Structure 1
Amino acid sequence: MASVCVNDTLTDDELRWVLSRLDSDKDKEVFGHVCKRWLHLQSTDRKKLAARAGPHMLGRLASRFTRIVELDLSQSISRSFYPGVTDSDLAVISEGFKCLRVLNLHNCKGITDTGLASIGRCLSLLQFLDVSYCRKLSDKGLSAVAEGCHDLRALHLAGCRFITDESLKSLSQRCRDLEALGLQGCTNITDSGLADLVKGCRRIQTLDINKCSNVGDAGVSTVAKACASSLKTLKLLDCYKVGNESISSLAQFCKNLETLIIGGCRDISNESIILLADSCKDSLKNLRMDWCLNISDSSLTCILKHCKNLEALDIGCCEEVSDTAFLGLGSDDFLGLKVLKVSNCPKITVTGIGKLLEKCSSLEYLDVRSLPHVTEVRCSEAGLEFPKCCKVNFSGSLTEPDVLL
């Protein structure tokens, strides 16, 4: 038989189909080692890229990987001494990677508003942008992104302390499809800014305003009403101005809420939590309310009895909670909890933990640190049997799951 050359027989489209059928990234890399033609096809077909490179190398990457839609240039905390991507790098990226939908610049501390202006000017298809802890950024740069990136769906700005309500106003006017916004530690954000945001952005599913100390009940209530059908995750850690009015508004409007973080909101009490437990009983999966000092057994029992889909619960430092919260569960009350944190709740004893274990066979992580009546020895003496897959944190030596961060 005459020999047949694959490259003479198969078209580029047919070879790309072969490449698309390869499952692992390793196999796709090997595909490119066959010959220059296959390397070119493999390069132009690649969709994701993670790199650390200067402008010259980024330019070469852009010319080789022409269809990249996801670019990760983020810096880890361990490389905090290194500034990462700079404004000149962003100019090259914006000109070279025109198809970008996702751009991660987390912790790239060298970026300024000039770099963001390049993004807004050139990357009109961008849908996801993470500039968390790029501490030099201000409203000027964010306004440029909002002006040019109308399809933006997710924006993460944690640690950007110069961002103010003006950025939220720009997003409201130009990025109407925004679904996720991270503002952790942006202390210049106020209730007024949130009110402006939801005038235009009414599809928000995830809002992180942890440690936004100038946000209070008025802002949260406005968000709850405007984004009632879409809001699924709301993070309010250490927002000390947030109280019962916010929780009552969430209970009234947000029936699809899945994750609520209210740790450190010390004015929240049983009355509003009971309303929330009844309203979101079918949707709520993750609830963090550590340091909510007015929370006691009545609201906790209500949560455990009504929220059947609850998977993670943190009531650390809620000093009024006692065994009664668990002993109030009836014979038909079975919990689907996977993560439970009850550290620094001095009224909880081995009796309460034992009752909990009777009702919760799916537990994977239990935090009982700093409970004077609950120690590894006492649990053993009481004959408590923890689920096989459950990690019990008695002393703080275990890595905590990040589901409630």
Structure 2
Amino acid sequence: MARRESAEREEEEARVCINEALTDDELRAVLARLDREEEKDTFGLVCKRWLRLQSSERRRLRARAGPAMLRQMAQRFCGLVELDLSQSASRSFYPGVTDSDLSVIVDGFRGLRVLNLHNCKGVTDAGMITLGNGLPSLQSLDVSYCRKLTDKGLAAFVLGCCNLKRFHLAGCKSITDHLLQALSRSCSHLEELGLAGCNSITDAGLSILANGCRYIKSLDVSKCSKIGDLGVSRTAEVSSSSLKTLKLLDCYKVGDKSIFTLANCCHNLETLVIGGCRDVSDESMKSLALACGGSLKNLRMDWCLNITDLSLSRLLSNCRYLVALDIGCCDKVTDSAFQALGMGGFESDLKVLKASNCLRITVIGVGTILQYCKSMEYLDLRSCPNVTRLGCEQAGLHFPERCRTNFDGSLSESDAMIGGFF
């Protein structure tokens, strides 16, 4: 017992000596060399001094807290720049952050640059006005599915946050072109805008947005039924050098004119989602394949019913960096399109291929895919009547070890994986 007490005293003396010898700046240098959050948390367990330093150096935090806890967090994490208070869909019954919480955030986190309020249904226009008045340095805000928000509060917010670069409003169905006008007027540095499901915005609003926000890198107007070629083309023309991601899922008014404009102007395009744009045809997609062959990585064009082997083969032979492709329900596509994989002069990097409900694809086509796509990780062949697990086994096809193949729907898709591409 005496020996153990002696060892503990020596350990305590050593710890005291270290704290006396090291300055705060030297301890910060040690902390900076720790990469993982778990290691940084362990650093803070040494003593109260190390915990204080670790807390003051923390830049990102995800939490679920009320006003009292937020005040304590503000005192402890004084250097915070990113705060995630988002709600999961499974907690939709709980309102999450409220307007009173936003007042605490404004008072306590003056250096905040990124705020995530995704699915916080208790936030209203009053809360947005508070943010606009109190956090002028905010650069990123996600209020997706905060359904109580309208143009009034959001327009006041963007008026006060002129440095905004990233703004996500998916599912905020009450907003209109008036908000896009406010963004155009106040936020010239805007780079990323998410408007999926905001079905009151129109081509006129997108055109107004383009007048002031000329450096858009990512735009999502999926399921915005009033968006068509006019607004998309105007955005592509103005943001031609910066646009990398464009999502137009189920924008049924979008057709060949938009795709031709993208081909003519946006040669840095990396991700394009045109699923459900049924008027898009081979001619415009062939043009896009030639123009964006050196940049396009992710392409979703399920339910583009006019797409045939002509454009798909051009895409597969020209787009050397393509990693994810969705051609689901493109029922004019046949095995012949995949022969182009061996004609491009490069090894395909394709990791995800979704080809469900492609009625003319057979085991022969699957064999061609496996021959040239050695990096395949997910292959969706559901509802392809000429392709079965047994048929592939009888043909002697060998799937890559990491490849998950969905034949009949028994394999659930990983939202995190697929969503990361499209």
**TM class, shorter-length:** over 0.9
Which segment drifts farther, 210-219 or 171-180? Answer: 171-180
Aligned with residue 124 of structure 1, among 109, 127, 136: 136
Structure 1 pair 350–33 and aligned structure 2 pair: CA distance change class (3 A)? closer
Distance between the aligned counterparts of 2:39 and 2:316, measured in 1? 48
Deviations along 1:204-246, one digit per CA (max 9) or x if unpaired, are: 1110111011000000000010000000000000000000101
Q: How does 1:12-51 map to 2 (within 5 A)?
A: 12-51=24-63
Superposed displacement of residue 402, structure 1: 2.1
Cross-structure match for 1:296: 308
Q: Distance in 2 between matches of 1:331 and 1:248?
A: 24
How far the C-alpha of 1:330 sits from its partner, in A, is: 4.8
Question: How many Å separate the matches in 2 of 1:243 and 1:262?
Answer: 9
The answer for the alignment partner of 1:101 in structure 2 is 113
TM-score between both structures, scaled by the size of structure 2: 0.92
- How far apart, in 2, do the equivalents of 1:291 and 1:398 lie? 22
Q: Which amino acid aligns with 2:377?
A: E
Specify the alignment match of 2:156 in structure 1. Answer: 144
**Ranges in structure 1 where 5+ consecutive residues have no aligned partner:** none
Q: In the alignment, what sits opposite 1:286?
A: 298
SS of 2:242 mapped into structure 1: coil
Could you tell me whether the CA contact under 8 Å between 2:316 and 2:344 is conserved in 1?
Answer: no
Partners of 1:211 and 1:238 lie apart in 2 by 5
Residue 288 (structure 2) aligns with: 276
Measure the CA separation in 1 of the matches of 2:343 and 2:61. 53
**Cα separation, 2, equivalents of 1:300 and 1:176:** 37
- What TM-score results when the alignment is normalised by the length of structure 1? 0.96
How far has the Cα of 1:383 moved from its partner?
Answer: 1.2
Q: Judge conservation of contact 1:312–1:403 (CA < 8 Å) in 2.
A: no
| Other-structure match for 2:4 | none
| CA RMSD after TM alignment | 1.7
Alignment gaps of 5+ in structure 2: 1-12
The match for 1:192 among 180, 204, 222 is 204
Report the Cα distance in structure 2 between the residues aligned to 1:369 and 1:275, rounded to whole angstroms.
30
For 2:28 and 2:340, locate their aligned partners in 1 and report how far apart those are by CA, in whole Å. Answer: 62
**Residue in structure 2 matching 1:155, options 147, 152, 167:** 167
Contact 2:106–2:134 (8 Å) recurs in 1: yes
After superposition, the C-alpha distances for 1:323-373 in whole angstroms (9 at most, x for unaligned) are 121235555654221111111011111111112222222211111110111
Structure 1 stretch 24-33 or stretch 213-222: which is displaced more?
24-33
Q: Which has the higher helix share?
A: 2
Following the alignment from structure 2 to structure 1, what is the Cα–Cα distance between the partners of residues 272 and 407?
26
Correspondence list, 1:5-404, <5 A: 5-327=17-339, 330=342, 333=345, 334-400=347-413, 401-404=418-421
Q: Structure 1: how far apart are the matches of 2:38 and 2:377? A: 33
Q: Specify the SS of the correspondent of 2:61.
A: strand
Residue 5 of structure 1: SS of its match in structure 2? helix
- Change beyond 3 A, Cα 1:366–1:219: same
Contact 2:248–2:275 (CA under 8 A) maintained in structure 1: yes
Does the 8 Å CA contact 1:288/1:404 hold for their aligned counterparts? no
Shift of 1:34: 3.1
SS in structure 1 at match of 2:419: coil
Secondary structure at the aligned position of 1:129 is classed as strand
Q: Deviation at 1:399?
A: 3.4
Letter aligned with residue 339 of structure 1: V
Shift of 1:59: 1.2
Question: Cα 1:168–1:331, aligned 2, differ >3 Å: closer, same or farther?
Answer: closer
Cα contact 2:197–2:222 (8 A) shared by 1:
yes
Distance 1:247 1:16, change over 3 A: same
State the aligned residue count. Answer: 405
State the identity %. Answer: 61
Residues 344 and 371 of structure 1 are in contact (CA less than 8 Å); yes or no, is this contact kept in structure 2?
yes
